[in-house]
Chain A
Amino acid sequence: MSSANLSKQAVALPTAPMKKRSPWVAAWKSLRRNKAAMIGLFVIVLLIITAIFAEQIAPFGYDDQNLVNRLQPPSAEHIFGTDNFGRDIFSRIVYGSRVSLQVGFIAVGIGAIAGGALGAIAGFYGRHADNIIMRIMDILLAIPGILLAISIVASLGPGLTNVMIAVGIGAIPGYARIVRASVLIVRDQEFVEAARSVGTSDFRIVMKHIIPNSLAPIIVQATLGVAGAILSAAGLSFIGLGIQPPAPEWGAMLSEGRQFLRDNPHVTTFPGLAIMVVIFALNLFGDGLRDALDPRLKQ
């Protein structure tokens, strides 16, 4: 297939005497020229800073109630207004960035590490290992993602940790498939054979030769996966199975604000916007990353 040929070329590049630049540097240079991706990256960095310095940025605590001031529209004191407990919505969104980032990165981490390991084993050893692992992946894929996550959260119980596990498990098959496919391409190439002929252990071959050569698609999938994970977690919280109040989670805030939609739409507008902006930024960056790392898709 064409992808096989392409990656053969890509792998052959570093040995060519003309080209000494690392493909990662080249990818970064091409990414830096992509304005949309840079805007996405900027928003992501901003979000990370917000999450780290939430105490300094938020004017109020996330659970500071002031029942006299309930459901106030945006004002100078409360720039996003207050919710039904008189809590400052801006502060809750600022603190909520911590939850979203955590869910996004840890869930993707679980999915990528577990899925990557399973995919590598399946691809590298083939035969029975491949058959068993990929059939289990088929089983996971046969249950629609949100339903799988709901069932897992139901059996583990709600809460941040369990949401991360549930969303992470749902992501495993995607990574397993990607890594397996890349391993199948790389496995039989000469440099792997060379490594094996000098007595390198399987584990070392996988870690040192195969994983680095299949990293590009994993990184792209992971970036877009963070967006998906944040959306799933928000969805779980929205139906009451995710992060529990009073923790400031954006999906939960949308759910709580739903009953005030008619007269106080600001309660839901800002958490909704927060989710959208972050997901949008991650998608912009992920798209750019894919164009930069996968020359096949560049037009």
Chain B
Amino acid sequence: MHKYILKRLLALIPVMLGVSLIIFTMMYFTPGDPAAMMLGESAPPEQREALREELGLNDPFWIQYGNWLRGIVLEGDIGTSYTTRRDVADEIMDRFPATLQLAVSGVVVAVVLGVPIGIISATRQYSIFDNVSMFVALLGVSMPNFWMAMLLILLFAVNLQWLPSSGLNHGFRSLILPAITLGTGAAAIIARMTRSSMLEVIRQDYIRTARAKGQVESKVTNVHALKNALIPIITVIGLQFGGLLGGAVLTETVFSIPGVGRLMVESIGQRNFPVVQGGVLFIAITFSLVNLLVDILYAFVDPRIKSQYK
């Protein structure tokens, strides 16, 4: 198991090198002059030129990339923000708690809604409950979450005035609407996956055996069947969580939440390349670690998989 984890972590290194090269290349070719952005369009050209020189923007591509990479590997320094002159790592860490809160609360909503709905749908296939909940789930998958967010704001913040419409300054209450926004879309996906995975398992012989030996039906479903149906469900939950960590940009925008996604979009607007590069790399690493965690989780769920992890 340890060997397996180590192997996976080592395999991450070339992937992250690739990510760093791709994102660096994209930012290198992004039109717009960071120096002009920082000094304003009216700044004299000599001043801009001096700043470009200072930031190393006049160096050839490979030198710039090499410098950035060397900073990361040798000094653990992923760069300095052009606008605030602070460490990119600090900038990201300032924003990460908000994103993490959002992702965790979104996934909690998604699992609490999605898994039970999927189980009930599978055990009562083609019932009214199944048909209605799968219809709603498909609607949930089809609804752009930024529109969903706007509807929630309209109803709960503007009309009913129960909940704040933006920011994270009202503690738990300000998390409710963003969590519902992120959670419902993910819940729909999780419910659909839970249902189809359960349906596959429920037809197996060992389920019939469990019933034959007189096991209580609720135990058959929740223990015998669910345990065996868990792998694809965990996979989807992991993917959703990873996606939320890096991809809640739209929800963060609608609710004006200062998360990492928002930071990325702002930084792209400001041509603040070090923050974009560092942020994408950070998110990619987090995303990959979540995926690794999911794979490790498999071993605890399924002993057959554990024996393969060598």
Q: Is A239 within 8 A of B276, CB to CB?
A: no
B42 CB to closest chain A CB, in angstroms?
Answer: 24
List the count of A-B residue pairs having beta carbons below 8 Å apart.
Answer: 130
Over the window 264-290 of chain B, the binary record of Cβ atoms lying under 8 Å from chain A Cβ atoms (1 yes, 0 no) is: 110010000000100010011001100
Tell me the count of chain A residues lying within 8 A, CB to CB, of chain B: 41
Q: Is A143 within 8 A of B153, CB to CB?
A: no
Whether a CB of chain A sits under 8 angstroms from the CB of B143 is yes
| Selected contact of B249 from candidates A147, A154, A262, A287, CB within 8 Å | A147
Chain A contacts for B284, CB-based, 8 A:
142-144
Chain A contacts for B199, CB-based, 8 A:
299
Q: Is A235 within 8 A of B243, CB to CB?
A: no
CB interface residues, A 113-164, toward B, < 8 Å: 135-136, 138-140, 142-147, 150-152, 154-155, 157
Q: Is B144 within 8 A of A276, CB to CB?
A: yes
B72 CB to closest chain A CB, in angstroms?
Answer: 16
Chain A contacts for B18, CB-based, 8 A:
135-136, 138-139, 142
Alpha-carbon gap, A144 to B246, bound state (A): 6
Q: Is A151 within 8 A of B276, CB to CB?
A: yes
Find the A residue at minimum CB distance from B138. Answer: A283
Chain B contacts for A139, CB-based, 8 A:
15, 18-19, 22
Q: Is A268 within 8 A of B150, CB to CB?
A: yes
Q: Is B138 within 8 A of A151, CB to CB?
A: no
Q: Is A238 within 8 A of B265, CB to CB?
A: no
Whether a CB of chain B sits under 8 angstroms from the CB of A231 is yes
Chain B contacts for A157, CB-based, 8 A:
31
Whether a CB of chain B sits under 8 angstroms from the CB of A280 is yes
B156 CB to closest chain A CB, in angstroms?
Answer: 13
Chain B contacts for A155, CB-based, 8 A:
26-27, 29-31
Chain A contacts for B138, CB-based, 8 A:
280, 283-284, 287
Alpha-carbon gap, A299 to B116, bound state (A): 21
Residue among A135, A139, A140, A157 with most chain B CB within 10 A: A139
| Selected contact of A268 from candidates B23, B147, B264, CB within 8 Å | B147
A225 CB to closest chain B CB, in angstroms?
Answer: 13
Chain A contacts for B143, CB-based, 8 A:
272, 276, 279
Chain B interface size band reads 35 or more
Whether A147 contacts B16 in the complex (CB less than 8 A), given A154-B26, A234-B144, A299-B199, comes out as no
A84 CB to closest chain B CB, in angstroms?
Answer: 16
Chain A contacts for B254, CB-based, 8 A:
258
CB interface residues, B 253-310, toward A, < 8 Å: 253-254, 261, 264-265, 268, 276, 280, 283-284, 287-288
Whether a CB of chain B sits under 8 angstroms from the CB of A57 is no
A280 CB to closest chain B CB, in angstroms?
Answer: 4
Q: Is A276 within 8 A of B139, CB to CB?
A: yes
Q: Is A297 within 8 A of B142, CB to CB?
A: no
Alpha-carbon gap, A151 to B265, bound state (A): 9
Whether a CB of chain B sits under 8 angstroms from the CB of A254 is yes
Q: Is B247 within 8 A of A144, CB to CB?
A: yes
Whether a CB of chain B sits under 8 angstroms from the CB of A251 is yes
Chain B contacts for A279, CB-based, 8 A:
141-144
Q: Is B16 within 8 A of A142, CB to CB?
A: yes
A131 CB to closest chain B CB, in angstroms?
Answer: 11
Alpha-carbon gap, A135 to B16, bound state (A): 11
Alpha-carbon gap, A157 to B31, bound state (A): 7
Whether A283 contacts B141 in the complex (CB less than 8 A), given A151-B280, A261-B154, comes out as yes
8 A-B residue pairings within 8 Å (CB atoms): A142-B19, A143-B280, A143-B284, A144-B246, A144-B247, A147-B247, A154-B26, A251-B144
The 3 closest A-B pairs by CB, nearest first: A139-B18, A144-B246, A272-B147
18 new A-B pairs (CB below 8 Å) besides A238-B146, A241-B265, A251-B144? Answer: A135-B15, A138-B15, A139-B15, A142-B284, A142-B288, A144-B246, A144-B287, A147-B261, A151-B26, A155-B26, A155-B27, A235-B146, A239-B265, A254-B146, A272-B147, A275-B144, A279-B143, A279-B144
